[in-house]
Amino acid sequence: MAAPVTTSVFEQAEKYEYMNGFPGSHESECLPNALPIGRNSPQMPPYGLYAEKLSGSAFTSPRKENKQSWLYRIMPSASHSPFTPLPDSQQRPTPSYRHLPNQLRWSPLPFPSEPTCFLRGVHALAGTGSPTLKNGLEISIFSLTASMDPNTAFYSADGDYLLVPQDGDLDITTEFGALHVRPLEIAVIPRGIRFRIDLPQGRARGYMLETFNPGHFELPELGPIGSNGLANSRDFQVPKARYVDCTAPHRVVAKQNRIYYVAEQNHSPFDVVAWHGNYYPMKYDLGRFNTIGTISYDHPDPSIFTVLTLPSAVPGTAVADFVIFPPRWLVGQNTFRPPWYHRNCMSEFMGLISGGYDAKTGGGFVPGGASLHNVMAGHGPDGVTAKKASEGEQKPELVGKGSMAFMFESSLDVGATEGRGMEVVQEEYVRESWGGVERRVPRR
């Protein structure tokens, strides 16, 4: 029997129940008939709940782009004390970006020695733009050794989060319900949705992309591929309503223009009894991705590995693409099978969840690590990989068994930060990767 091609967690039992499908509208209720019928905001909603609309787009956005959900909750989210800035000691450093032509690579960020939850354990590596102008993105590593306080919730007013755990599970409580997200799964938490992250294994590390633009992630168009392939709509999982009724003191921490604020309230932020709409958190198992590849010649463009995209205002380009490189068969003949050497008008940030990456077999790119090839920076396979790919016998080959690499790709010029990530920059990356590439003098 052939070895399995996928790297997946779908064989494992789920902790929570989910609804399936993205994009599209969903509805969920914890109590029978908690959702009003025929109207969104009746004079008195069922069970005496409060109706609250959460808008992820302008009211007048085109129907296909309009994102909104209605929540029916015990207390309105507006019921809290005024927000005040967190003390300086609890603020994350505001990143300063250096836009460099150099190729960069990072080793994994070590786990902190002291208890560190999501509010303190996120470290920016790269980014550009401004949350207030709603343009740009930020790429971070999170390295956590503690769950968030059970009476604390967090939300970002700056942008949407895409979380990619690499080591350790994330148990995410949201206003819409709960998501249990394991390595080889991803989670998307749109702007403004309140959540809390617990760590079932006591620690977790991974990658995070925050997009500042007003749009949201969507599935890429399939074009000539046809109606199925890549990430299929039915495989995205959306939480079911799951409310908490509690009058103990709670904190809500908000991030606005990268500054952290806190407010107090005497009710749970997760008191939503029912909801409906098309603006919600979700998760996706990367092992369900239907990988497309060449069956003749040439390595295809990596766009065929796109899971989710956030289009820019320029047709055909993206503020951010989330691209994966799962286990797959290579069968192209008389073809340089790894990604070719190239320079790109896009910025490419790569991470490794598990295993190794077939274009970087020379070492240094390890799970939990990362690399950045900025706009027009030359890159491609290291010398060891290039020699093997150019001279080896070409038989059908399963590459990346047990491996999962990914890329955040952007049309923006992404700078590297001068924060904690610089402690684990591999200074010898360029020399080790391409210093050993052999000269190929034309043969007469």
CATH assignment of the domain containing 62: 2.60.120.10
Same domain, 277 and 298: no
Same domain, 145 and 237: yes
Is there a domain that residue 243 lies in?
A: yes
357 is in an annotated binding site: yes
pLDDT given at position 8: 67
Query: For residue 299, what are the domain limits?
Result: 287-428
Is there a domain that residue 261 lies in?
A: yes
Same domain, 36 and 185: yes
Neighbouring residues of 303: CB distance < 8 A, sequence distance ≥ 6: 220, 321, 323
pLDDT given at position 11: 72
DSSP string, 68-105: EEEEEESS-TT-SPPPEEPPGGGSPPPP-EE--SS-EE
Same domain, 318 and 257: no
State the first-to-last Cα distance of the chain, in angstroms, to the nearest integer: 47
342 is in an annotated binding site: yes
Is there a domain that residue 434 lies in?
A: no
Same domain, 242 and 354: no
Neighbouring residues of 272: CB distance < 8 A, sequence distance ≥ 6: 71, 72, 73, 175, 176, 241, 243
Same domain, 354 and 218: no
H-run or E-run covering 433: helix 429-434
H-run or E-run covering 434: helix 429-434
* Contact assessment for residue 151 and residue 164, using Cβ atoms and an 8 Å cutoff: no
Same domain, 306 and 275: no
Is there a domain that residue 12 lies in?
A: no
- Enumerate the active-site residues: 299
Q: In total, how many domains does the chain have?
A: 2
Is there a domain that residue 378 lies in?
A: yes
- DSSP bridge pairs for 324: 406
Among the three residues 251, 286, 321, which one is the final residue of a domain in this structure?
286
pLDDT given at position 349: 96
Same domain, 277 and 324: no
Backbone angles phi, psi at 420, to 5 degrees: -65, -30
Kindly state the tokens that stand for 179: 């998501």
379 is in an annotated binding site: yes
pLDDT per residue as tens, the chain (444 positions): 444 445 567 678 899 999 999 999 999 999 999 999 999 999 999 999 999 999 999 999 999 999 999 999 999 999 999 999 999 888 888 888 989 899 999 999 999 999 999 999 999 999 999 999 999 999 999 999 999 999 999 999 999 999 999 999 999 999 999 999 999 999 999 999 999 999 999 999 999 999 999 999 999 999 999 999 999 999 999 999 999 999 999 999 999 999 999 999 999 999 999 999 999 999 999 999 999 999 999 988 889 999 999 999 999 999 999 999 999 999 999 999 888 899 989 999 999 999 998 888 778 899 999 999 999 999 998 888 899 889 989 999 998 888 999 999 999 999 998 877 677 889 888 988 888 889 999 987
